[in-house]
């Protein structure tokens, strides 16, 4: 044997530069032990065999030629892959570890610190390829690991099995597909003190949002027991998200998502001798207590998030990590860290537009939602209960949608509904998911046949069309960095926290409208009074649903507050520290009644649109306690989570006296206008708000014009009436005169003004009118942001042009 070969390295003596020696995984572990332990990050101690030790093993057993010859027999279509892989692995498993390696491994194993038994320390034995965790390739998941290995014979067996795992079928295919020479890749084996996660918990963590690429959040998944269940996607884990910019303030807990997973099972150590040839772990069912409890405390969530930030800062790039919590000492550990290779490599700063070139026969039309185009096979569903019939990438066709449909909508390529308009559930969700949708497409359920290939186009203006077959279209990518700044702020309307982060790249000036009721209807689902007064709910089904939704909370009311607070915080995080204007709940009584347990607390009104809604609910005996929960959620989001950029907005406020009562209730609940920078706006959506603008301006910091309701009430038109759809128009002279009057009064009182209706998106001339009359901000749906922003840029340039002021005077 060659005595100059370095066969073993302590992890603490390794660093990133040692990838060729011990593979990416082990080099990264050593890097963290050497450089991040002073930051409080714990990494289990251990050692690694080197790539040279693996090559020496191959040479010691004269395997290079027979392995090369066998691998050369792999057919181009890989039909004989299983036999080739099995034969190569058998060669390795039949070989013997060279004596010098055995001697050095056992010496290092005997010297490991920590808890020991008569048979030796319990260790994790993991494979680390020399071509692993490179920017252009990741071998993660291709190689084998062995947990809870105890005893010298079991350790040596595990090392040989790791060597063999370099030639699992999936590893062979991966190398072949990525251009790696089989015999040029070597293997290192990492041996670490085993963290007793079987008695605690474990999971994965990313320093970037893996769905949207949002760089300012840490994502953590957690389950009971060993982390393999999470890594392999075997269960629904808890999920947490932490907003990185606020982590340095020790007084805050900026956890913007905290979702309780089902966690139906966990992986624990199997009872046995610890030999690798036996099963060293097994799956068992979790207890009800475990299923109903979060794996991590808030303190632990924040600790892991801070570690993720420190690791990301050290490596200078987003990272993918695995963590574990020892159930015996309750200590947290990082057990792996590698570069994140999906979102971090995507091109940033670009936006997409669609241009239709040619189509098949037009089958249907309706109102276009979004501006995208998508093709797919029709899947007609009568109810959300048919979710199992829906194939991802299909076009959802149905009568209308509600909160129960969201899981299906997330899997759709496009959406077509027979009913609904621009303010319908289908329209709102489609916009935020970035899906093209055609709503109000009469006859969709009969005209569109299951399985038929169709194209849904929303790229032709206000009318959306459904075409037969697959259309031909172009996609234009826009450089967002080239979009100029404007005096008039262009903001976004957002409602769904789950979809909010996908718009983080848009150069928006904040969130002009965050709809609280959307979070209540979709995430919370329960009427707040039903949580406060469950004795009034008589329907057994509703009581069972409430019990299921509120599991994990000692007080059901806390479920409402916590879910709402984190949902609002997630929206407020997108453009933090720019403002996020949160409209307090604006359900009508019929909509409140549809919430779980809601029927017991809502009257039956003939005209809910003009009934008990908005401000009038907040101070009334029938809802005041429910409003107090909304206020608690706002306080939690601002004071505990740290999102002081949240602005409160009061909808449907009919008079200055009503405004005084609402402001009083807010103050009673700790939300005092002006304290800690809190601003309170009012929706300007009633003629009274315009006529008494000066009086309202004395009580509020800003107006947000709700053009839909304002148009409805000035013209006396039901905005949801299909018969009167041609009459409903925000550009009506009466509506525009009212808006101009409000803007003038607000300018006089130096009160902020904004508009959060659909009109600027649909009508460029309406946007021009607003800018010319000095509105401070326009808030639009994400799909129309770029086009509206460009309109505002063009208008401001025209107004700033030499002679423009003189022309305006003439």
Rg from Cα positions in the chain: 31
| 425 catalytic per annotation | yes
Peptide bond into 50 cis (omega under 30): no
Q: Which of 413, 405, 388 is nearest to 471 (CA)?
A: 413
Label residue 76 exposed, middle or buried (CB < 10 Å: 0-12, 13-18, 19+): exposed
Q: Which of 442, 443, 438, 447 is nearest to 465 (CA)?
A: 438
Distance CA 445, CA 441 (A): 9
Sign of CA dihedral 94, 99, 100, 104: positive
- Which residues are registered as beta bridge partners of 333? 324
Distance CA 719, CA 17 (A): 65
Q: At a CB cut-off of 8 Å and minimum separation 6, what does 716 contact?
A: none
Which residues in 545-642 belong to E strands, given as ranges?
A: 580-583
Dihedrals phi, psi of 86, to nearest 5 degrees: -60, -40
Q: Which of 427, 428, 436, 430 is nearest to 471 (CA)?
A: 436
The token duo for 294 is 């979060």
DSSP 728: -
Label residue 239 exposed, middle or buried (CB < 10 Å: 0-12, 13-18, 19+): middle
Check: CB of residue 735 under 8 Å from CB of residue 707.
yes
Check: CB of residue 581 under 8 Å from CB of residue 705.
no
| 458 catalytic per annotation | no
From 425, 527, 576, 752, the catalytic residue: 425
Dihedrals phi, psi of 489, to nearest 5 degrees: -70, 135
Q: Which of 428, 438, 482 is nearest to 459 (CA)?
A: 438
Q: Residue 774 half-sphere exposure, CB side, CA atoms within 13 Å?
A: 12
Q: At a CB cut-off of 8 Å and minimum separation 6, what does 543 contact?
A: 534, 537, 597
- C-alpha distance from residue 82 to each of 91, 183, 551 (Å): 14, 18, 46
Distance CA 304, CA 323 (A): 8
- Which residues are registered as beta bridge partners of 285? 265
Question: Which of the residues are catalytic?
Answer: 425, 756
């Amino acid at each position: 044997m060659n005595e100059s070969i370095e066969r073993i390295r302590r992890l603490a003596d390794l660093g990133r530069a040692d990838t060729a020696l011990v593979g990416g995984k082990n080099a990264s572990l050593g890097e963290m032990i050497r450089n991040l332990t002073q930051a409080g990050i714990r990494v289990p101690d251990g050692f690694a065999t080197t790539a040279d030790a693996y090559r020496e093993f191959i040479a010691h057993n004269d395997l290079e030629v027979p392995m090369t010859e066998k691998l050369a027999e792999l057919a181009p279509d890989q039909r004989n892959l299983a036999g080739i892989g099995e034969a190569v692995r058998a060669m390795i498993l039949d070989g013997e570890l060279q004596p010098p390696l055995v001697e050095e491994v056992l010496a290092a194993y005997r010297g490991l610190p920590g808890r020991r038994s008569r048979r030796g320390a319990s260790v994790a034995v993991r494979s680390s390829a020399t071509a692993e965790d490179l920017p252009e390739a990741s071998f993660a998941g291709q190689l084998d690991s062995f947990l809870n290995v105890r005893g010298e014979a079991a350790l040596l067996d595990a090392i040989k099995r790791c060597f063999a795992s370099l030639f699992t079928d999936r590893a062979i295919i991966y190398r072949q597909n990525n251009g790696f020479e089989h015999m040029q890749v070597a293997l290192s084996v990492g041996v670490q003190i085993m963290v007793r996660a079987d008695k605690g918990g474990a999971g994965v963590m990313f320093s970037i949002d893996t769905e949207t690429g949002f760089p300012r959040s840490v994502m953590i998944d957690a389950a009971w027991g060993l982390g393999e269940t999470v890594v392999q996607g075997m269960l629904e884990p808890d999920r947490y998200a932490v907003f990185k910019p606020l982590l340095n303030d020790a007084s805050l807990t900026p956890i913007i998502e905290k979702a309780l997973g089902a966690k139906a099972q966990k992986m624990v150590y199997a009872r046995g001798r610890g030999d690798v040839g036996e099963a060293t772990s097994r799956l068992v069912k979790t207890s009800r207590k475990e299923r109903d409890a979060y794996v991590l405390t808030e303190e632990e969530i924040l600790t892991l998030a801070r570690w993720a930030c420190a690791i990301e800062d050290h490596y200078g790039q987003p990272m993918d990590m695995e963590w574990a919590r020892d159930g015996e000492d309750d200590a947290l550990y990082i057990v792996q860290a590698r570069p994140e290779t999906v979102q971090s490599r995507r091109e940033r700063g670009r936006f997409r537009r669609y241009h239709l070139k040619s189509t098949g026969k037009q089958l249907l039309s309706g109102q276009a939602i979004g501006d995208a185009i998508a093709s797919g096979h029709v899947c007609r569903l009568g109810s959300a209960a048919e979710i199992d019939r829906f194939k991802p990438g299909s076009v959802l066709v149905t009568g209308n949608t509600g909160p129960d449909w969201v899981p299906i909508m997330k899997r759709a390529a496009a959406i077509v509904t027979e009913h609904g308009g621009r303010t319908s559930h289908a329209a709102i969700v489609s916009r935020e998911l970035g899906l093209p949708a055609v709503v109000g497409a009469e006859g969709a359920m009969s005209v569109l046949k299951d399985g038929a290939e169709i194209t849904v186009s929303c790229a032709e203006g206000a009318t959306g069309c459904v075409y037969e077959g697959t259309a031909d279209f172009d996609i234009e990518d826009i450089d967002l960095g080239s979009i100029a700044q404007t005096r008039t702020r262009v903001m976004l309307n957002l409602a769904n926290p789950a979809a909010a982060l996908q718009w983080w790249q848009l150069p928006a000036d904040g969130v002009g409208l965050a709809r609280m009721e959307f979070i209540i209807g979709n995430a919370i689902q329960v009427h707040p009074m039903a949580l406060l007064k469950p004795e009034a709910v008589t329907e057994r089904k509703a009581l069972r649903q409430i019990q299921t939704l509120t599991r994990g909370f000692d007080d059901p009311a806390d479920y409402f507050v916590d879910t709402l607070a984190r949902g609002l915080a997630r929206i407020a995080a997108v453009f933090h520290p720019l403002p996020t204007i949160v409209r307090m709940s604006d359900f009508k009584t019929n909509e409140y009644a549809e919430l779980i347990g809601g029927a017991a607390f809502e009257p039956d009104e003939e005209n809910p649109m003009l009934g008990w809604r908005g401000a009038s609910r907040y101070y009334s005996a029938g809802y005041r306690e429910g409003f107090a929960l909304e206020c608690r959620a706002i306080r939690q989001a601002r004071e505990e989570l740290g999102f002081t950029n949240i602005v409160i907005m009061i909808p449907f406020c009919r008079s200055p006296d009503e405004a005084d009562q609402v402001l009083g209730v807010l103050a009673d609940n700790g939300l005092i206008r002006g304290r800690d920078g809190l601003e309170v706006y009012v929706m300007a959506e009633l003629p009274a708000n315009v006529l008494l603008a000066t009086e309202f301006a004395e009580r509020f910091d800003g107006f947000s014009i709700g053009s839909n309701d304002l148009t409805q009430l000035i013209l006396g038109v039901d905005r949801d009436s299909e018969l009167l759809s041609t009459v409903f128009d925000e550009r009506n002279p009466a509506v525009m005169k009212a808006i101009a009057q409000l803007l003038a009064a607000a300018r006089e009182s130096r009160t902020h003004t904004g508009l959060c209706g659909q009109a600027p998106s649909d009508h460029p001339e309406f946007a021009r009118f607003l800018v010319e009359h000095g509105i401070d901000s326009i808030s639009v749906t994400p799909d129309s942001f770029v086009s509206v922003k460009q309109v505002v840029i063009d208008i401001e340039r025209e107004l700033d042009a030499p002679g423009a002021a003189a022309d305006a005077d003439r």
